[in-house]
């Protein structure tokens, strides 16, 4: 990918140059093949294993997020089989689909500029390296599809039948994006800014768009009313507790955005900011799709650490805007800068793939690598007839469960992430059973004694790494309810009284009603 600038075709503002389609084909195929190899070689991650169970048991919602990725995984398992490759196929094809959508929307403006936008997007490192199926996979697709539909609707000079159809389609797709992840709200906010500031003459069309998007939020709200408002509690309350401002957070956000577009593209965008300003005035919706999320996350970064995946559903519009707004002769330099950056990433991945597991023993990641690569071997040492396997944290529990094709609960409090156990697992069914809690760190047995008749520490070795299991015999559910589940309720289920609540599986198992009013727990297990 370390191509020289003069090897790339010079951009044009009229017809597509003959070399540009060849570069699109070369980059698109090469990236697809690389992603395919990486998806085959990379073991399942904790997030993927967690979402896998959403696909095993499809529902209208889940503790952390709306249900779309669960539906997607369920569809892949039903049509292509229960394999990691099948589950990852949507994310392997995602950059191709996004490229096609960008072309669909931008070709009406300028076919050559549209081709450059797709090429720049395909050259980005993330589109070579991302093979993980997550909630962001459907979010990105539905968000870009919605925005591209709206871009085409806005280019129609009259509000005729096709225009109304595109506005309605954009709304339906926005609703699907909302059923993927709440970041779709930021996309809707960008639409709102565009129509209020620049398109008041088409507020009726915007109203139709919002009306067609409503089924997505309606499904989500209905599920939350019956499930402890867990989406709202997680995304707006529990995960934000204790967040404080530090200068490092906005600085990290700026650095991440420079990295994502590449230092070359960031520098050229700054250097030619007047041209990009003119492009914003000429293509205000596309400009809003870039500027509004950028500013929204910039403000949020003063309190929250903005993760790379937070901006992924808006990422393609940045390359589209650069392709439309930069001087034509600068697009080749952007492509070369991205090619060099991606080439370094590809070389690093290939280099890592040529190492052995033993070479990572001194790395802090070694325990996680062993847990992911040698999962089956680890579990064979721990399994025993009549014994219930659990873990002390959600990531390893998901990985173990995927390997066993059997759900593995978490024993203990866990943290505010990934608490699907609260809705799914009834710990009372384990009364009197023998439980082995798998741990990579040596635990304190005193943390477990209140909840069993007797406990024993078991030691194992895998790939030179010690790991442990706490074997508890005679599980005492009442003690666990009072010492652990009550503490979980105090930490994560303080549901505001003004929220209407029809049902809450966790609270109903704990105290028999949807709203519990319990004193704080007194014998909670220490955090993993």
Model confidence over 267-322: pLDDT tens digits?
999 999 999 999 999 999 999 999 999 999 999 988 888 888 889 999 999 999 99
Alpha-carbon distance of 9 to 23, in angstroms, equals 9
Burial class (CB in 10 A: 0-12, 13-18, 19+), 87: buried
Q: Are residues 305 and 277 in the same domain?
A: yes
Alpha-carbon distance of 318 to 290, in angstroms, equals 6
Q: Are residues 86 and 195 in the same domain?
A: yes
Q: Are residues 347 and 435 in the same domain?
A: no
Q: Is residue 12 in a domain?
A: no
Do 5 and 332 contact (CB within 8 A), yes or no? yes
Q: Is residue 249 in a domain?
A: yes
526, two tokens:
């220490």
Model confidence over 367-379: pLDDT tens digits?
888 888 999 999 9
Residue 355, helix vs strand vs coil: coil
Q: How high is the pLDDT of residue 240?
A: 66
Q: Are residues 317 and 443 in the same domain?
A: no
Q: Are residues 179 and 318 in the same domain?
A: yes
Q: Is residue 13 in a domain?
A: no
Q: Are residues 468 and 348 in the same domain?
A: no
% of the chain exceeding 70 in pLDDT:
94
Listed in sequence order, the residues at least 6 apart from 92 whose beta carbon sits closer than 8 Å to its beta carbon are 32, 35, 36, 39, 131
Comparing CA positions, the residue from 441, 469, 465 lying closest to residue 455 is 469
Comparing CA positions, the residue from 286, 108, 105 lying closest to residue 191 is 286
Do 508 and 479 contact (CB within 8 A), yes or no? no
Domain end residue (candidates: 297, 330, 353): 353
Q: Are residues 101 and 140 in the same domain?
A: yes
434, two tokens:
């023998």
The DSSP result for 374-433, as a single string, is SHHHHHHHH--TTEEEEESSHHHHHHHHHHHTS--PBPS---SS--HHHHH--GGGGTT-
* C-alpha distance from residue 355 to each of 256, 335, 350, 368, 465 (Å): 28, 31, 9, 16, 18
Alpha-carbon distance of 266 to 255, in angstroms, equals 10
Burial class (CB in 10 A: 0-12, 13-18, 19+), 450: middle
Q: Is residue 94 in a domain?
A: yes
Handedness of CA 240, 244, 248, 254 (dihedral sign): positive
C-alpha of 379 from chain center:
28
Model confidence over 39-49: pLDDT tens digits?
999 999 999 99
The count of structural domains within the chain is 2
Q: Are residues 274 and 328 in the same domain?
A: yes
C-alpha of 8 from chain center:
34
**3 state SS for 71-140:** HHHHHHHHHHCCCHHHHHHHHHHHHHHHHHHHHHHHCCCCHHHHHHHHHHHHHCCHHHHCCCCCCHHHHH
For residue 218, is pLDDT > 50? yes
Do 366 and 465 contact (CB within 8 A), yes or no? yes
Range of the domain at 487: 367-511
Q: Is residue 238 in a domain?
A: no
Q: Is the pTM of this model over 0.85?
A: yes
Q: Give the single-character DSSP code of 289.
A: H
Residue 512, helix vs strand vs coil: coil
| Dihedral angle of Cα 32, 33, 35, 39, to the nearest 10 degrees | 130
Other beta carbons within 10 Å of 264? 18
Q: Are residues 424 and 474 in the same domain?
A: yes
Q: Is residue 462 in a domain?
A: yes
Kindly indicate the confidence band of residue 5, based on its pLDDT and cuts at 50, 70 and 90: very low
Domain end residue (candidates: 293, 328, 353): 353
* C-alpha distance from residue 517 to each of 415, 422, 489 (Å): 21, 17, 9
**3 state SS for 236-269:** HHHHHCCCCCCCHHHHHHHHHHHHHHCHHHHHHH
Q: Are residues 337 and 374 in the same domain?
A: no
Q: How high is the pLDDT of residue 521?
A: 47
Q: Are residues 324 and 373 in the same domain?
A: no
How many Cα atoms sit within 13 Å of 134 on the Cβ side?
16
**Residue burial 390-405, b: 16+ Cβ < 10 Å; e: rest:** bbbbbbbbbbbbbbee
Q: Is residue 40 in a domain?
A: yes
Q: Give the single-character DSSP code of 365.
A: T
Do 120 and 265 contact (CB within 8 A), yes or no? yes
Model confidence over 72-107: pLDDT tens digits?
999 999 999 999 999 999 999 999 999 999 999 999
How many Cα atoms sit within 13 Å of 366 on the Cβ side?
17
For residue 462, is pLDDT > 80? yes
Q: Are residues 473 and 329 in the same domain?
A: no
Model confidence over 143-182: pLDDT tens digits?
999 999 999 999 999 999 999 999 999 999 999 999 999 9
Q: Is residue 219 in a domain?
A: yes
Q: Give the single-character DSSP code of 44.
A: P
Q: How high does pLDDT run on average in the chain?
A: 90
């Amino acid at each position: 990918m370390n191509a020289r600038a003069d090897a790339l075709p010079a951009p044009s503002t009229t017809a597509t140059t003959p070399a540009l389609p060849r570069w699109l084909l070369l980059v698109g195929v090469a990236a697809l093949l690389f992603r395919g190899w990486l998806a085959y070689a990379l073991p399942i991650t904790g997030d993927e294993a967690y979402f896998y169970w959403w696909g095993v048991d499809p529902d209208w919602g889940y503790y952390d997020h709306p249900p779309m990725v669960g539906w997607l995984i369920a569809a892949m398992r039903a049509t292509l089989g229960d394999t990691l490759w099948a589950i990852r196929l949507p994310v392997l094809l995602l950059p191709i689909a996004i490229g096609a959508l960008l072309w669909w929307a931008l070709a009406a403006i300028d076919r050559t500029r549209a081709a450059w936008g797709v090429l720049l997007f395909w050259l980005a490192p993330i589109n070579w390296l991302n093979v993980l199926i997550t909630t962001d996979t459907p979010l990105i697709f539905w968000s870009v599809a919605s925005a591209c539909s709206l871009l085409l609707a806005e280019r129609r000079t009259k509000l005729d039948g096709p225009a109304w159809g595109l506005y309605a389609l954009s709304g339906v797709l926005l609703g699907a994006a909302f059923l993927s992840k709440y970041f779709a709200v930021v996309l809707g906010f960008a639409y709102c800014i565009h129509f209020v500031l620049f398109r008041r003459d088409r507020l009726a069309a915007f109203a139709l768009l919002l009306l067609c998007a409503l089924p997505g939020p309606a499904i989500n709200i209905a599920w939350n009313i019956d499930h402890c408002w867990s989406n709202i509690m997680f995304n707006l309350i529990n995960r934000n507790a204790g967040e404080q401002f530090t200068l490092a957070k906005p600085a990290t956000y700026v650095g991440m955005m420079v990295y994502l577009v590449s230092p070359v593209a960031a520098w050229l965008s700054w250097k030619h900011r007047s041209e990009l300003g003119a492009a914003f005035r000429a293509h205000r919706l596309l400009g809003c799709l870039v500027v509004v999320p950028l500013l929204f996350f910039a403000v949020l970064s003063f309190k929250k650490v903005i993760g790379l995946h937070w901006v992924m559903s808006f990422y393609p519009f940045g390359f589209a805007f650069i392709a439309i707004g930069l001087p034509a002769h600068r697009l080749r330099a952007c492509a070369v800068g991205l090619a060099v950056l991606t080439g370094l990433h590809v070389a690093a991945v290939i280099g890592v793939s040529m190492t052995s597991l033993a070479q990572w023993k001194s790395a802090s990641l070694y325990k996680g690598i062993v847990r992911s690569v040698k999962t089956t071997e680890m579990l064979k040492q721990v399994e025993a007839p009549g014994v219930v396997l659990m873990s002390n944290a959600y990531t390893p529990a998901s990985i173990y469960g995927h390997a066993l094709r059997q759900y593995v609960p978490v024993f203990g409090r866990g943290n505010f992430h990934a608490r699907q156990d609260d809705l799914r697992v009834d710990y009372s069914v384990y009364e009197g059973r023998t439980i082995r809690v798998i741990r990579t760190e040596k635990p304190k047995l005193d943390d477990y004694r209140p909840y069993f008749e007797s406990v024993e520490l078991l030691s194992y070795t895998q790939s030179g790494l010690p790991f442990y299991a706490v074997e508890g015999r005679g599980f005492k559910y009442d003690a666990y309810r009072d010492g652990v589940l009550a503490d979980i309720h105090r930490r994560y289920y303080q549901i505001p009284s003004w929220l209407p609540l029809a049902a809450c599986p966790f609270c109903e198992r704990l105290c028999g009603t949807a709203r519990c009013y319990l004193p704080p727990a007194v014998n909670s297990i220490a955090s993993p």
